[in-house]
Amino acid sequence: MAAAIQCRDLRKTYDSKVEAVRGLNLEIQAGECFGLLGPNGAGKTTTIEILEGLLAPTSGEVFIFGHTWHENEREMREWLGISLQETRLSEKLSVRETIELFASFYREPRSSDEVLEELQLTEKADAWVGKLSGGQRQRLAVATALVCNPKILFLDEPTTGLDPQSRRQLWDIIRQFQQDGGTVLLTTHYMDEAERLCDRLAIVDHGQIIAEGSPADLIERLGGHHVVEFSTSGNSDGASLQAWRGLPSVESVREDSGVIALNVKEPHLTIPALLEAVGQRGSELQHLTTRQASLEDVFVRLTGRHLRDE
């Protein structure tokens, strides 16, 4: 069976200067929730719009269930539910009118009432779009995608700028869609979102995939599930950073604005040794925490930058 979404050596160059996507390969199976994770400007939106058939790639191939966009675009559009980044729907139409409008484009859409119910918009059905909150608007955007009963749901930064409660509501909706057999491709620059929702994800930076796998996989590859962060009195330098690397069970070291972070497999071995080493140097610990490693750590490890850095 053909993969739900597949692309080979995708490239997109704008105005023959800006290389937004530089040789991207993906294969997403039906029923998977796949995330493209990366900082702003990494090429996520360009990639997803090429996969959606809204943007022509400079080179490379895209297959949706084994079909290319040149074959039968109208038919393929029946399978896809799309939520773009920042579409401003008409403010003077009601929620129900907007959903009905989108439903009218498909051969066999779902009933609007059912979609309203599922997206918790029933109470707002007759309110104008202009009167909705950010979270409600975003749910409406997803509703216009789900009303066609899609096989694949494309979501470009679905929760950017939403409050925590609205984000959680959307996560539930996306998970429900996946549980019912749907395939999801989403982009995000939120680590927690990717960790919670995605079966697999690709970390994208400068138009290329720099790592791919399940969230647990990627964290595993970091070389340790734990992070020990501490700072000491007195200056640290490159030489001392190497000294921390030599502590038991430490896989890697980095320094971030005065705080030293160790990727550690077994903290119970590292911490006593760390305390001893600090004592030997005659300096004092000013701060010490341990926590589970996150995708953020993976990203920093891979690129040397934080995900949210502009």
Please report, as ranges, the residues that interact with another protein according to CB under 8 A: 1-2, 30-31, 52-55, 65-67, 71-72, 74-80, 82, 84, 86-90, 92-93, 97, 100-111, 113-114, 128, 144, 148-149, 151, 180-183
Show contacts of 167-171: CB within 8 Å, 24+ apart. Answer: 167/193, 169/120, 169/135, 169/139, 170/135, 170/138, 170/139, 170/142, 171/196, 171/197
Q: Which is nearer to another protein, 129 or 264 (CB)?
A: 129
269, 224 in Cβ contact below 8 A?
no
Place of tokens 């009905």: 100
Q: Which is nearer to another protein, 32 or 195 (CB)?
A: 32
Taking the complex as a whole, the smallest distance from the CB of residue 84 to another protein amounts, in Å, to 6
Taking the complex as a whole, the smallest distance from the CB of residue 264 to another protein amounts, in Å, to 43
Q: Token pair for residue 34?
A: 């796949």
Residue 199, helix vs strand vs coil: coil
Q: Which is nearer to another protein, 181 or 282 (CB)?
A: 181
Q: Which is nearer to another protein, 90 or 214 (CB)?
A: 90
Q: Which is nearer to another protein, 87 or 233 (CB)?
A: 87
26, 60 in Cβ contact below 8 A?
no
The DSSP code sequence of 200-266 is: EEEEEETTEEEEEE-HHHHHHHTT-SEEEEEEESS---HHHHHHHHTSTTEEEEEEETTEEEEEES-
Backbone angles phi, psi at 114, to 5 degrees: -65, -45
Q: Which is nearer to another protein, 23 or 53 (CB)?
A: 53
Q: Which is nearer to another protein, 14 or 234 (CB)?
A: 14
154, 5 in Cβ contact below 8 A?
no
Taking the complex as a whole, the smallest distance from the CB of residue 64 to another protein amounts, in Å, to 10
Q: Which of 290, 278, 288 is nearest to 234 (CA)?
A: 278
Taking the complex as a whole, the smallest distance from the CB of residue 143 to another protein amounts, in Å, to 13
Measured CA to CA, the distance from residue 219 to residue 293 in angstroms comes to 7
Taking the complex as a whole, the smallest distance from the CB of residue 85 to another protein amounts, in Å, to 8
Q: Which of 190, 205, 304, 223 is nearest to 256 (CA)?
A: 304
Q: Which is nearer to another protein, 76 or 277 (CB)?
A: 76
- β-bridge mates for residue 156, sequence order: 187
Taking the complex as a whole, the smallest distance from the CB of residue 189 to another protein amounts, in Å, to 19
Measured CA to CA, the distance from residue 83 to residue 142 in angstroms comes to 6
Q: How crowded is residue 231: how many other Cβ atoms within 10 Å of its Cβ?
A: 14
Taking the complex as a whole, the smallest distance from the CB of residue 26 to another protein amounts, in Å, to 18
Taking the complex as a whole, the smallest distance from the CB of residue 183 to another protein amounts, in Å, to 8
262, 250 in Cβ contact below 8 A?
yes
Q: Which is nearer to another protein, 28 or 295 (CB)?
A: 28
Measured CA to CA, the distance from residue 52 to residue 38 in angstroms comes to 19
Taking the complex as a whole, the smallest distance from the CB of residue 180 to another protein amounts, in Å, to 4
